[in-house]
Amino acid sequence: MAHRVVVTGYGAVSPLGFNVEDTWQNLISGASGIDIISGFDASTFTVKVAGEIKNFDPLAYMEPRTAKYTDRFAQFAIAAAKQAINHSGLIIDDSNRYEIGILIGSGIGGTHSMEEQVMTLNTRGPSRVSPFIVPMMIADNATGRVSIETGIRGFNLSLVSACSTGTDALGIAYKLIKHGELKAALAGGTDAAITPLGVAGFAQAGALTRNADPETASRPFDSKRDGFVISEGSGVLVLESLDFALERGARILAEIVGYGATSDAFHITQPLSSGESALKAIHMALKEIGFEEIGYINAHGTSTRLNDASETRAIKNSFGARAYDIPVSSIKSMLGHMLGAAGSLEAIICCKVIEQGVIPPTINLEHPDPECDLDYVPNAARKARVDAVISNSFGFGGHNSVLAIRRYS
């Protein structure tokens, strides 16, 4: 028997806030979380801007000793996970701890720690390398730490699918709960890769904008877009089977009603220009509820030339003429690209759209691109009753992942 899967809580840290509410308020007011890079000296870099989370205090969420031996990407996950549990009112105890899972992925993992220790290795030799470097840098440290911090002992997986990670973590958690393998899961993504190697690597691949003006650098679907803005953070949701949620009297925020994932089989960084595999993922996600109800599309919308054009093509080919009537927006215009955390934060924002009846805008959309001709909710939030949405995420390696979320009734 298939179980219905609902959202009962969420938490986040982002360049626009240390929690979901602040992030949401900033998004609907069209604020930008992008600034000049301050975490390291980027003066010799071609890229000058990023969406950094400034003044994040890990000690608000964990003991000093845990914070010291936990990479920034996993600290973000702990913060988001604890917020999500509080928000859902879920109490983890001996009656349920083995039936709750943790699926928090990371696109990059602990690159802050790794880069620092590579410096130590090269300058001071192997006997000076920290014994904590392996647990600090491997991507599963986020789920391992969250398990220790919360007492959750069920299925624990950190999956990696580049910038689709957050959406895939939610999609897999959805399937595990739907098919009765878990009663509940903490699911989402986390990343903190605004480091010299992270920025240089994405910049050399031509993925990042060279626009040095922070607030206008991320401009999805605009004809003057020239790459994404790297940012960081985490978004984690509590998903539960409807039965479990009702049994414990949880407040239900939205329902997950579909997930589709495909791959391009084409190129390690470029998306398939036809958008064909993305279209297939959209169809898979809407297999059960169909296309009619969809009233908002949260775009992957990275602000790269290739993504925004192929994503637009995929949306048009999926929805036909109705594509022009559906608001599509990219919150990456304000947050930058949180990599593996993007999809999960965007799923949270989709829940807020359904709950609040407001659609966050795509800012910096000033010069229309003939290849991108949908309604991208340019520059100002819009009130609209939305009952069902899809959230798209695509990633290096050719990942296409789509989640469908609906108002619970």
Partner 1 sequence: MDIHAELKKAICKVHPGIDESKITPEATFTGDLEMDSLSMVELALAMEDGFGVTLPDEELAKLTTVGEVEALIQSKMEK
Which residues sit at the interface with partner 1, rule CB under 8 A?
63-65, 67-69, 128, 130-132, 135
Contacts of 262 (CB under 8 A, 6+ apart): 277, 278, 280, 281, 284, 400
Per the annotation, the verdict on 179 as an active-site residue is no
**What is the distance between the alpha carbons of residues 257 and 374, in angstroms, rounded to a whole number?**
25
Q: Which is nearer to partner 1, 131 or 249 (CB)?
A: 131
Choose the catalytic residue: 337, 351, 372, 399: 337
Q: Residue 314: how many CA atoms within 13 Å on its side-chain side? A: 33
The 3-class SS string of 244-277 reads: HHHHCCCCCCEEEEEEEEEECCCCCCCCCCCCHH
Choose the catalytic residue: 163, 350, 351, 372: 163
Q: Residue 396: how many CA atoms within 13 Å on its side-chain side? A: 13
Per the annotation, the verdict on 87 as an active-site residue is no
Q: Which is nearer to partner 1, 128 or 251 (CB)?
A: 128
Q: Give kind and range of the element (H or E) at residue 394.
A: strand 388-395
**What is the distance between the alpha carbons of residues 112 and 376, in angstroms, rounded to a whole number?**
35
Least CB distance from residue 62 to partner 1, whole Å? 10
Q: Which is nearer to partner 1, 78 or 314 (CB)?
A: 78
Least CB distance from residue 118 to partner 1, whole Å? 16
Per the annotation, the verdict on 337 as an active-site residue is yes
Choose the catalytic residue: 112, 300, 350, 351: 300
The DSSP-derived string for 286-341 is TTTT-STTEEEEE----S-HHHHHHHHHHHHHHHGGGGGGS-EE-THHHH-B-GGG
Least CB distance from residue 148 to partner 1, whole Å? 13
Residue type, 68: K
Q: Give how far the C-alpha of residue 90 lies from the chain's centroid of Cα atoms, to the nearest Å.
A: 22
Q: Which is nearer to partner 1, 33 or 135 (CB)?
A: 135
Q: Residue 35: how many CA atoms within 13 Å on its side-chain side? A: 12
**What is the distance between the alpha carbons of residues 237 and 10, in angstroms, rounded to a whole number?**
4
Kindly provide the b/e burial profile for residues 180-219, where b requires at least 16 CB atoms within 10 angstroms of the residue's own CB.
eebbbbbbbbbbbbbbbebbbbbbeeebbbebeebbbbbb
Q: Which is nearer to partner 1, 68 or 287 (CB)?
A: 68
**What is the distance between the alpha carbons of residues 168 and 341, in angstroms, rounded to a whole number?**
11
Q: Which is nearer to partner 1, 64 or 320 (CB)?
A: 64
Least CB distance from residue 67 to partner 1, whole Å? 8
Least CB distance from residue 147 to partner 1, whole Å? 17
Least CB distance from residue 64 to partner 1, whole Å? 3
Helix (H, G, I), strand (E, B) or coil at 389: strand
Q: Which is nearer to partner 1, 9 or 58 (CB)?
A: 58
Least CB distance from residue 311 to partner 1, whole Å? 44
Nearest Cα residue to 108 out of 77, 70, 139, 75: 139
Give catalytic residue positions. 163, 300, 337
